[in-house]
Structure formats: C-alpha cells, structure tokens
Amino acid sequence: MANEAQQKYYIKLQSLLKELPWYVEEYIDHKKRKLSAASLLNYAHDYKIFFNWLLTESLHTDEIKNIPLELLESLTIKQVEGFLNFLQYQLNNKEITVNRKLSALKSLFNYLQNIAETNDLQPYLQRNVMAKVEFNELKDSMETIANKMEGKILLGDEYESFRLFIANDYGQLNKDNKKLLNFHIFNRERDTAIVSLILGSGLRLSEVVNLDIDDIDFTKSSARVVRKGNKEQYVYFSSLAMDDLQEYLSIRANRYKVEKTNKSLFVSAPMGPKGTSRRLSARAIEKLIEKYATAFGKPSLSVHKLRHSFATRYHTEINDVPKLRRQLGHSSIQTTMIYTHIRNDDLKSAVDKMDMPKDEE
C-alpha cells in the first residue's frame, strides 16, 4: 500500500542526506523506527535551511556537509534567535512553522547531547544551545483558531450539497463547455468517491493517495492506513462513503483501463502512448478539490479543510474526543481539542454513528 510512496520519500531522503553532515544521517537512522519517511524528509529539509543560514552568516566557510559538531556547540542564544528571526521575517514563516522547525532542531541537538556517544562514551555535544531557546508563544487561542477555521469548512447541509455538486451539479454548471463537461463525466464517480471518503472518515491526503483496493474492508466499512510514525491502523468510514466507493469501483477497471497489477484505489485517466493509468498523485487530488471548491463558491476548501469538516461533524454528533483523536490519528489530544471550540448546531445526522461496531462506540 504505502510502500511505493515510502520508497520515493526514502530515495529523496538519501539524496538530501548526502549534502548534510554525517551526524544528521546518524540521527535520521536513529529516528527511522519512530517516524515515517515523509516526516524524516521534512526534518532533513529543515536542517538544510539551518545549515545554509550558518553559511550565509559566515559562521562556516566550507560545504554544509563539513560543518563540525564544534560549531553547533559554540552557537549562542543570540545567533539561534537570529536564525528564528530569519525564518519569520525573511522567509515569512508563520509562528507555528517557526516552532516546528525549532522543534526539529531541538530534537537533533538533544540526540547529539543526550543519546549519541563517542567511542569513549562521551556525548557528541557538551553544550546544547537549543535547550535554552523557547518556542514562540502562539497568539491565537484554541477558540480563535477554531473560529477562523469555522468559516473555511463545510457545516450543516453543506456536506451533502458539496458531494452532490461534484456528482452532478458541476457538470450542469459547465454544460456549455464540452471539454470540462466531458472531463467531469469521465471522472465524477472517482472524484465523488474521494470527497465522500474524506468527509466520511477524516483521512489525511497522504493516506488517501496511498490506499490500495485491498486496504478497503467492505464488510466492516474500514480502511487500512499507515499513519504518521509508520503506525498501521484501521479507520472507519461512513456508509455513504462506502456506497460512493462501490459505485466508483464498478467502473474503475474498464473506464480507466487499469492493469491487473495496479492495485491503487484511486487512479488517473489513461496516459502515455500505451494509455495506461497510474496512482492518482497528491497534487492531482489537491487540484481537483480546488477546482470543485472554487466552482462551489467556497474556494478556501482544501483536502485538509475537508478533514477538518469531518472532525467538526463527528465531534458535534458523537462528542467523544478520545475516539475522534484515534479516528484522525492525532498524536496529541490537544490538537483534537480544537474541534470542541467550533460552533456547529445545525446538523441533522451523524457521520458514522450508525455504522460503528458496538465495541467502537
């Protein structure tokens, strides 16, 4: 299922590590059992930005990969804060993004000081400047974040309206544009199934992309996914999502000319001289959501906002934060708590309450 995507991330990761100091690769190897290849690649990108900054500040004059541990040990708090200011004011990173990159550096420096050892059992770093640097205090409270999110997600009748718009109304809206109409007719079962699945389960974009047909259990209305940290989990989805998936699968093989060896759940239209289909990419799914969202009159909608929409509806109808946390695959319950602050009183039916096995309710 996710092996194909994981392999691509690992290839990119190995290529990037060749540009970075040896101790970064050692740290990445240490984290491989706990983090996904995608997360490790993000860490490596963050480290490259930091090491490049050291060069631009003339703190090191050789290649990045030759930056010594001694330099890290000698960095001052003022220099690190200069890097964080660079992220925020020159790269225009949001405070939460700056915190994430600082967290990646804190994790690396902690490894170098408290876990890694030399041959004579000494830590790589005696002094850890990152331990002295505090995270940005985020200005927005959970309630403020929730209120901002509220205007950008689907609420109430909009869930079904958006689904029906993709299944039917988008084509009617573009009936005078033969190219758009034909493209919609060709893909509407697939596109409806994608949106219905996200709205009926809260899956992440990467989890939807990596799904294979064999990952869907049609008897239990569940999907096997690999979550952050390479954790395998079975995630339930709604009966409506099940209906839309089955309708899509009834046309998938013939319409998309799918080879028997291609087990990808969501596939692209046939391409190339041989006219074969391939796994639908993350960017392709993002673009199709953007297309429908704009035409629907809610351009702020994205794959992630559909996930937020599911979470809001689930919490409103079921009001069980620990269960919602598991459904979404959040590592921290604090992340899930955001949805308890979103006001959504006009819903008429539960997302999945009737479909949940008794031992999951």
Residues identified as active-site: 204, 228, 304, 307, 330, 339
Within 13 Å and on the Cβ side, how many CA atoms surround 351? Answer: 30
Give the three-class secondary structure for 217: strand
Residue of 302, 312, 304 lying closest to 203 (CA atoms): 304
Within 13 Å and on the Cβ side, how many CA atoms surround 231? Answer: 13
Structure-block tokens of residue 41: 């690649």
Amino acid at 51: F
Angle value at C-alpha 330, between 328 and 335, nearest 5 degrees: 105
Q: Which residues contact 35 (CB under 8 A, 6 or more apart)?
A: 43, 228, 229, 230
- Dist. CA 48–CA 65, nearest whole Å: 10
Residue of 303, 314, 323, 321 lying closest to 344 (CA atoms): 314
Strands 231-236 and 222-227: antiparallel
